[in-house]
Structure 1
Amino acid sequence: MISIATPHRASDWRAEGRQVRPRVLQVITKLDMGGAEVIALDLVSALQRSTDFAVATVLDVEPTPVGRAMRAQLADLNIPIFLGARGHYKKGGAIVAAWRLARAVSHFQPDVVHLHTEMPELTWAIARMLFPWTRRVTMVRTVHNSELWIAWGGIGRWVTDRLATARAVAVSQAAAAADAAIGTRRPRPQAEVIYNGARVPPPAPGGGGASGSAVGDGGGMGPARAAVSVLFAGRLIAQKGPDLLPAILASAYAACPRADVKVQIAGTGPLEEALRAALVGIAPPGWVIEMTPPIGGLSLRLREFDAVLMPSRFEGFSVLAIETLLSGVPLVATRAPGLVEALPADYPFCAAVDDAQMLGLTLARILEAPQAAQQQAAAFVPELTSRFAPEAMIARYSDIYHEEHRRRAP
């Protein structure tokens, strides 16, 4: 039996007058690229003057450039980091991760554990089962996607039922609906929708795109800085639609055969090898197609690109979509659940999910007249600035932390 010393109750600390601020443990999957991870760190940065934070991960992964930047950000703020399990999560790692998370709670003694996405929820549910004293900590869970527990439906129902007393937040109406659709024995209120906030990123101090490996360049004569630069940035998983990129690019070239285009595919994931193979030899004359690791500080560099591709099949929400448009950069996107809530109702550069041909034709419109497309995108900046002001998101989460700080866990 795994044992961890039972800490004092958080309420005991308050009674002794030693705790005057909410103590919140942000629980994320890993310190690496991910929308949930970015939001968790944004909350830490914005609220660290009024709230004591620590960050715990489910997985302890080899640091990537993005992960190292996240660690540096937390170190600058003097935020404690508790790393999770190494190795395969499904082969014993889940138990180790739950033990490490319980140990983090014992050490940090939070009032609130804030869970971001399914893997942290599962890990916390296991921890509550193995270490009953952890049930005294109140819970906030943020639902970050509009399709949940893919291929893990039974486990998802068990976890959601175990965490039914948690304060639930969703990043979009689609995410809230997906969470509500999970059947549980105990009734739960529908998750409150708090849209992720974004602000206009400042211009980068300089520099070009990330260096990477060219998959094909239409004969090797591509320019060092193409006249038109296109970006796909995201994990290379089916949800993000990277498998559609070859057909999208072929459709775009057929409709607009210009010979000065550079396409950067920035991301890693299980589809990387298959995508790299599919892209070999398909670059039209004068095009450069390259695959690179994720771009650190991407929001600061969006203005380096003339268009951003987002062929997602579903999203919880998309801060990248908002940041792209706030930067005045045209976004080619699908009307996917969750993602469509980030787009203005009359946004012109979008298509149906999985419609590679129409996505390519939409991209071609931007390639034909990049400056006109940028003017169209810029027209939506005032609306998006108002709808997705980060101050609104931050203020609401602050209220929730203080409310849960005052509430004794069941």
Structure 2
Amino acid sequence: MRVFHLITHFDLGGAERVAANIAESATPGIHYHVVEIMRGNSAYTPRFIDELRSANVHIHRSVVPDINWHFLVQRIAALLFPLRMLYIILRWRPDVIHSHTETPDLALYVASLMLPKRLFRNVRIVRTIHNTRLWTGLDGVGRRVEAFYRRHDASIAISHSVRNAYAERYGMEAPIIHNGVAEEKHPQTFEPLMPDRINILFAGRLEPQKGVSTLCEVLKRLAADQRYFFTIAGDGTQRQLVEQTISSGGVDGAPLTNARLLPPVFSLASYMSSFDYLFMPSEFEGLSMLSMEASINRLPVIANRAPGLSDTLPDDWPLMVSDNNVDDWTALFGSYLPTVNRQQLVDKAHSFAVEHFSVRKMQERYEEVYNK
């Protein structure tokens, strides 16, 4: 069986990580390929490619540059994809095509319109829904693409929140296969950390979805609290907001002395055990890989009670705030967090992640779908 995963690019991302984790399965008789729609070109790209190749996964690079400017570029990539899809079908005869996120979803849909239907006659179409919100600002495109995937009974949700949001909008309940994460076998020390402080990590894309504005408000509220030190690792359209907050968000416009901004950290999971807590004020998620990786690597998560994020933690998890209420965040950091038994939280979250988010369980569930 030949299974082709379509991803946006060979780069750092939750959906890309899921596709790689599935493709690295060692199940006999299944040969995995991973295809990028836009050509990844970050410091992480070579590592991602090396990882796939070391697992005997066949990779297919794109020639369309990955320009993070406007959805127009992604549309162009989708329109050009049918030529590559034609070559892939004629050369490799895939049995399964598995799409991840909106750009690959659109690319495969366009290919289905432009190529002869007989080419897809014996191909199983699978698609993972990674987020609770789809096709923002592109409702018309979304309706047509979703009709295609509903006809193929292709969609799989990664969490209850994702399934419920999809059913509410598109009228179809998708089965659930939770993402899987693995415990880091070679943890590393993150340098430098601040001694005698509670070291808090915020990591991810600096975009509205990740609650960056809330992060900045919390940093301002805690400007004079020297018990904490925040390491913010990431990049994105709201980078300038974070920079401004750190440079002038202190008392009387002074720079913050308890926060710093770093570029994205690759192999982040290997450094997680160095920190005391992970801060995630996300507005919404699909099923947060970052939160699951933190729990399984013994880093407690401080989280907004958001769809797709709360699913990754026990129901009675105490380090959660509803609706990103800044007063509640201030109270949590101000008086509650210093009093908790951190080791009990570590053990509780780790046990929950091991039970619910196994990589091998995820691989086996998807391979059952492929074999239908």
Q: Please say whether Structure 1 and Structure 2 have the same fold, judged by a TM-score greater than 0.5.
A: yes
Q: Residues of 1 paired with 2:369 and 2:232: CA distance? A: 38
Gaps of 5+ in 2: none
Alpha-carbon distance between aligned partners in 2 of 1:319 and 1:260, rounded to the nearest angstrom = 28
- 1:243-277 CA-to-partner distances (Å, cap 9, x unmatched) read 211211233456xx2x2533111111111123222
What does the per-residue CA deviation read over 1:188-243, in whole Å, with 9 as the maximum and x for residues that have no partner? x521111112243335144426xxxxxxxxxxxxx865632111111111111112
Matched, 1:197 2:180: yes
Query: What residue number does 2:7 align with?
Result: 28
- Per the alignment, residue 395 of structure 1 pairs with 364
Residue 167 (structure 1) aligns with: 154
Give the 3-state SS of the residue equivalent to 1:65 in structure 2. coil
Q: Which one of the candidate residues 274, 298, 301 is aligned to 1:328? A: 298
Q: How many residues align?
A: 360
CA RMSD of aligned residues (A): 2.4
Secondary structure at the aligned position of 1:379 is classed as helix
Q: Distance in 2 between matches of 1:199 and 1:366?
A: 30
The answer to whether the aligner puts 1:90 opposite 2:72 as a matched pair is yes
Counterpart-to-counterpart distance in 1, 2:263 and 2:358: 29
Tell which structure's C-alpha radius of gyration is larger. Answer: 1
Match of 1:294 among 244, 264, 286: 264
Do the aligned partners of 1:260 and 1:286 also contact (CA within 8 Å) in 2? no
Equivalent position SS for 2:44: helix
Give the conservation status (yes or no) of the 8 Å contact 1:36–1:144: yes
Match of 1:65 in 2: 43
Does structure 2 conserve the Cα–Cα contact (< 8 Å) formed by 1:231 and 1:307?
Answer: yes
Q: 1:343 maps to which residue?
A: 313
Are the equivalent residues in 1 in contact too, given 2:313–2:352 (CA < 8 A)?
A: no
Query: Could you tell me which residue of structure 1 aligns to residue 58 of structure 2?
Result: 80
Residue 336 of structure 1: SS of its match in structure 2?
coil
Conservation of the 8 A alpha-carbon contact between 1:116 and 1:143: yes
Partner residue in 1 for 2:211:
241
Alignment check: 8 A CA contact 1:247 1:356 kept: yes
Match of 2:249 among 277, 282, 292: 282
Cα pair 1:329 1:378 within 8 Å, conserved? no
Which sits farther off after the overlay, 200-209 or 25-34? 200-209
Alpha carbons of structure 1 residues 315 and 177: separation in structure 2 relative to 1, 3 Å: same
Q: Distance in 2 between matches of 1:207 and 1:308?
A: 14
Deviation digits for residues 291-348 of structure 1, max 9, x if unmatched? 2222111112111111111001111111221221233322110110111111111100
Runs of at least 5 residues in structure 1 that lack an aligned partner in the other structure: 1-21, 210-222, 404-410
3-state SS, counterpart of residue 103 of structure 1: helix
Q: Distance in 1 between matches of 2:306 and 2:92?
A: 39
CA distance 1:50–1:334, shift in 2 (3 Å): farther
Contact 1:56–1:101 (Cα < 8 Å) also in 2: no
The amino acid across from 2:97 in the alignment is V
> How far is the alpha carbon of 1:402 from its aligned partner?
2.0
Q: 2:95 maps to which residue? A: 111
Question: 1:79/1:389 Cα in 2 relative to 1: closer, same or farther (>3 Å)?
Answer: closer
1:267 and 2:234 correspond: yes
Q: 1-side partners of 2:250 and 2:267: how far apart?
A: 28
Q: Which residue of 1 aligns with 2:349?
A: 380
1:99 to 83, 89, 95: 83
Task: Specify the alignment match of 1:251 in structure 2.
Answer: 221
* SS across alignment from 1:27: strand
Distance 1:244 1:292, change over 3 A: same
CA distance in 1, matches of 2:49, 2:335: 40
SS of residue matched to 2:81: helix
Q: Deviations over 1:344-373 (max 9, x none)?
A: 111000001232332243234576357x23
Shift of 1:290: 1.9
CA distance in 1 between partners of 2:196 and 2:92 (Å): 50
